[in-house]
Structure formats: structure tokens, C-alpha cells
Amino acid sequence: MNRPDHQHFIPKSYLKNFAKRNKDKKFVEVMDLSSNETKIVSTRSICVKTGLYTLPKRNNTDPYYLEKYYAKNVDEVYPEVYDLLVDDKTTTISKKQKHKIIYTLMSLYFRTPKFLHALNKLTDTSLDQALMMTGPGKDEIVVDFFGQELKFLRHDIDTVKQRLYEQNRQDFLSTHVKEWHEFVTYKYHCAISVFKIEGDIELITSDNPVLIHSSVQNPFHLYDPTNIIEIPLDRKHFLFIYPNTEGFSSTKINRGIRDMFFGLTLNLQVHRKAEQWIIGHPGSCQKHVADQKKYGEYNEENLKLVENIELRAKLMSELLAVMEQHGFLSIQTANKVMQYKKLECFNGDNDLKEIAQHLAQKGFITD
């Protein structure tokens, strides 16, 4: 790595699991959300921003330190993490492996330039409004920019914006790694599951692939304890991180199956959270659009499906907490399962059905 200016904010080691291999190259289908046009591109040329992580040159500081850090601690580590997650036989992992899973995948949330884009948009809005509010006869513009008084001439506004963009970038570099590490520590004790999608559906991803949301709280808050996290892993698997409603020290990977309609809903959420691109195996993005039209993304049935999925996730987190406290083979677990089996959101749920069957085999009543 001589001059690593070609900087991926979504690493190739993640994108390759959605790609089609052609000799030594890997290709994905991408859809530009501004035009809805699709094309096939190499994983080398998508989710890249020149100089995004390059540090200011100060003393003997390596300007590429952060890019190299990501390369060594995330991009090179993720293949090991992916293999653990999609291996159906792996149900117990070490504490170090669990940390690697959360660490590498949550980096995809904090390292993306979406936060920087939001800062730059706010900068544009503030300066443009100041320009409009200053009379046309005045050449000097004065604006209170978040406690910082800015003075500049009208014709220099583009130069001032560029300077503030760079200031925003440096603020992003100085804060996002700390926030990422703090969040990983906060989220480490949650339970995790990997679900496999069945049916005629392929999962897509995006340039902002980490979905964080709550079925309880609104508006969004990153440290809301009821948040669930969903991350597509490849065309058929996704990671599910449960809410912080209870503490977990578990080093297990819970596994389950989800149907085509769950996949449709997850793809819709990925699409809505994307910044510029949705990404998939060649053909997957176009199929996603066709599927959403076919099944009606905004109809009442699909909205109800989303609500049921989110509620089921919250309740399963509570069930896992009961198991952790009282044990799987316990009256408390059996009573909770009996309660859940009566709820509409668990109709046809394979995970709850399997738990109930195991309990019944050991003599516990769940009906």
C-alpha cells in the first residue's frame, strides 16, 4: 500500500459476498437511486471516496494511518467473521470472536460518509440562508455558524464552503472512531442471530448497510435500548442483533429461517436507508424493484408485516433474557413461550415452534 488514496468506506471484503466472480475480479449490480439506473461494476469501484480518511500532514504523522487501520483491523479480519456467521455448524463462539463480529460490522455504520454528507448539507443551508437574508446591496456576509462568527465577501462563498467542508471532514475523522468503539462496548452484551432466507428472494445491500431501528421509540436515538440491528451478509443471510432490553453475556450464535416476505421487507428497509446506491449480485437489484412492485411496498399488509417483525424481535429478546436468567428448561421459559404462541406476530414462526417442541419433549407444557 504506497499511496492508499483509493479508500473504500464499505470494504471489498464485505461487498464480495454479494458479487459474481469473473477470474480474479468480482462484480456487483448497483442501482443509482437518483436515476434508478442499474449497471454492473467491480467491487473495486463502488463505495469509494478519494481521500476520505486521509489525515492532515502534521509532524511525522502518517496521513494514511486511518485507512491502514481499517485495512488491517476490519477489511482483513472480516472474511474470518463472515465464515463464522454463515457456518450453520457454528453455534458457540469465543468472547474475542463475538467482539470481532460486532466490531467489524458496526464499522460499516460509523465509517460511511453519510454523517459527513449531513454536516456538509447543514453547512450549505446555513450559508445560503445567510446570503439570502443579507440585502443585495451588501457585499459582506456575516453569519453565526454554530457559535463561530464567519465574515466573508459574497463572491467568496464557494471558497468558504470548501474550507468548511474540510473542517467537517476533519471533525468526522476525529470523532467517528471513538463513537464506533464506544458503541461496540455498549452493544457487546447483546444476543446475536443469523437468519437464512428461504424462497425466491435474494437480499441486497447498500452504501449504508447497517439498519438500526426500534419498534417502540421514535424519533431515532443510537443508544435507545430497544433498538434492533439488521445487516445483510450475503444473498441469503443476515445478522440480527437484539435490543439492550436485558444484559447478555452469551457467546452463542442463534440461528433460524425466515421466509420470502421477511426478505422482501428487509430489502425494502435497505433500499430506504441507502444513501446513493443499492447493491446486489447481478440481477438482484432489478429483481428487488420488480418484487416491490409485485407485492406492493406501501400496502397495508406489508406495513403490518414490518410491525410484526419488529415486535417479534423485541419479544424474542425478552425470551432470551428469561432463558439466560432461569435456563432453557424452566417453567418461566415455558410460560413465556405459551404466552407468545397466542400472539398474532408469531403465527408461522419457526424459531418459536422449535423452542416449544424442545420444551414439550422434556415434559414442559407450552399449549
DSSP class per residue in 42-102: EGGGSSB-TTTTPPP--TT--TTHHHHHHIIIIITTHHHHHHHHH-TT--B--HHHHHHHH
Write the burial class of residue 127 (CB in 10 Å: 0-12 exposed, 13-18 middle, 19+ buried): buried
Q: Is the dihedral of CA 351, 356, 357, 362 positive or negative?
A: positive
- The pLDDT of residue 280 is 97
Type of residue found at 152: F
- The pLDDT of residue 242 is 85
- Residues 5-33 have pLDDT tens digits of 889 999 999 999 999 998 889 999 999 99
| Per-residue pLDDT at 128 exceeds 60 | yes
| Per-residue pLDDT at 350 exceeds 80 | no
| Per-residue pLDDT at 247 exceeds 70 | no
**Longest alpha-carbon distance in the chain:** 86
- The pLDDT of residue 72 is 94
- The pLDDT of residue 168 is 93
- Domain positions in the chain are 307-367
- The pLDDT of residue 1 is 44
- The pLDDT of residue 19 is 96
- Residues 281-306 have pLDDT tens digits of 999 999 999 988 877 654 556 666 66
What the block records as the C-alpha cell of 126 is 446555513
Nearest to 217 by CA among 226, 209, 208: 226
- The pLDDT of residue 301 is 62
- The pLDDT of residue 122 is 92
| Per-residue pLDDT at 357 exceeds 80 | yes
Who wins on pLDDT, 274 or 248?
Answer: 274
Q: What is the pTM of this model?
A: 0.82
- Residues 37-83 have pLDDT tens digits of 999 999 999 999 999 999 888 777 888 999 999 999 999 999 999 99
Write the burial class of residue 234 (CB in 10 Å: 0-12 exposed, 13-18 middle, 19+ buried): buried
- Residues 255-286 have pLDDT tens digits of 888 888 889 889 999 999 999 999 999 999 99
- The pLDDT of residue 273 is 94
Give 3's pLDDT tier (boundaries 50, 70, 90): low
Mean pLDDT (the chain) is: 88
- The pLDDT of residue 249 is 63
What the block records as the C-alpha cell of 350 is 419457526
Exposed e or buried b for every residue in 318-335, given b needs 16+ CB within 10 A?
ebbbbbbeeeeeeeebbe
| Per-residue pLDDT at 86 exceeds 60 | yes
Nearest to 108 by CA among 235, 273, 267: 273
Range 218-231 average pLDDT? 86
Give 90's pLDDT tier (boundaries 50, 70, 90): very high
Contact between residue 345 and residue 311 where contact means Cβ atoms under 8 Å apart: yes
- The pLDDT of residue 302 is 61
Neighbouring residues of 289: CB distance < 8 A, sequence distance ≥ 6 = 31, 36
Who wins on pLDDT, 138 or 19?
Answer: 19
- Residues 154-212 have pLDDT tens digits of 889 999 999 999 999 999 998 999 999 999 999 988 889 999 999 889 999 999 999 99
Range 210-228 average pLDDT? 83
| Per-residue pLDDT at 101 exceeds 80 | yes
